[in-house]
Amino acid sequence: MTMVLTHLCDDIGTIIMNNPERLNVLSSKMVDDMLQALDQLEKGRARVIVIRAYEGAKVWSSGHDINELPVSGRDPLPYDDPLETILRSIQASPLPVIAMIEGGVWGGACDLALSCDILIGSPGGSLTMTPAKISVPYNASGILHFIGIMGINIAKEMFFSAEPLSAERAEKLGILNHLVPVDELEHFTYELAGKIAKNSPLSIKVIKEQICLLAGAHPLSPHTFERVQGLRRLVYDSSDYAEGINAFLAKRAPLFLGE
């Protein structure tokens, strides 16, 4: 039985985490199903993806499946851990991914939400980082991810206190892009997704990867610099680039073909 529901409508893909009994715990089965859904949407007509919980969820996701944490003596978050795999897949996806968040987000599910490109939450929601609660060391890529998004002091408070960070505070801190009343959350999310879906997929794909590469805050290696230049050339050499300019000058909607 699949743990996720997948939809595609108006070029907007949706992945719904759908395991109410276990509060959308990120078990290896849930992650496998999410990876399959992501792959299917990336290969299809989707131009933007929304990741959300089932309707009315009090918990968006309860994080890594504690039952699947390895016994002592082994790294609880190794590179090939299911959670780490889905985080990298979302970050590396050529499509913009929006996290539509209602309810509580726990542990590794916070990293999942933060791996999305845009986060939209609603009052009453919260983000709780739990490693210190279950004596998990977390890991370098995850910690760097938090520092890059929220700064060192807030990251320390989240990790050290393991206390919920309210959606209201997360929005003030710029962690959430938008805070929307829960009864408007779906409409607001899909309206934004629709606007993104109308723009040049090639340009968005290339800008997303450039942001990811440059936000790494590491000195640019020659490889990275040349990769960034090659990515940019992909777009300004494309017919979509000419189409975007011609459509604007002709005062008509652009028809982007992704090439």
Q: Which helix (H) or strand (E) holds 137?
A: none
Select the residue interacting with ligand YXS from 100, 105, 138, 180 (CB under 6 A): 138
Q: Which of 9, 92, 134, 173 binds ligand YXS (CB under 6 A)?
A: 134
Q: Verify binding: residue 107, ligand YXS, rule CB under 6 A.
A: yes
Instruction: Output 59 or 118, the one with its CB closest to ligand YXS.
Output: 59
Please report, as residue ranges, which positions from 52 to 81 form the binding site for ligand YXS (by CB under 6 A): 59, 62-67, 76
Rounded distance between C-alpha atoms, residue 78 and residue 91, angstroms: 17
For ligand YXS, give the closer residue by CB, 33 or 65. 65
Q: Which stretch binds ligand YXS (CB under 6 A): 134-142, 172-180, 228-236, 246-254?
A: 134-142
Question: Is residue 145 close enough to count as binding ligand YXS by CB under 6 A?
Answer: no
What is d(CA 45, CA 29) in angstroms, rounded to the nearest whole number?
25
Give how far Cα 87 sits from Cα of 40, 84, 186, Å.
17, 5, 23
Supply the DSSP string of 147-213, one letter for each residue. Answer: HHHH-HHHHHHHHHH-PPEEHHHHHHTTSSSEE--HHHHHHHHHHHHHHHHTS-HHHHHHHHHHHHH
Q: Which residues are catalytic?
A: 64, 108, 138
Residue numbers of the site for ligand YXS (CB under 6 A)?
22-23, 25, 59, 62-67, 76, 104, 106-108, 130-131, 133-134, 136, 138
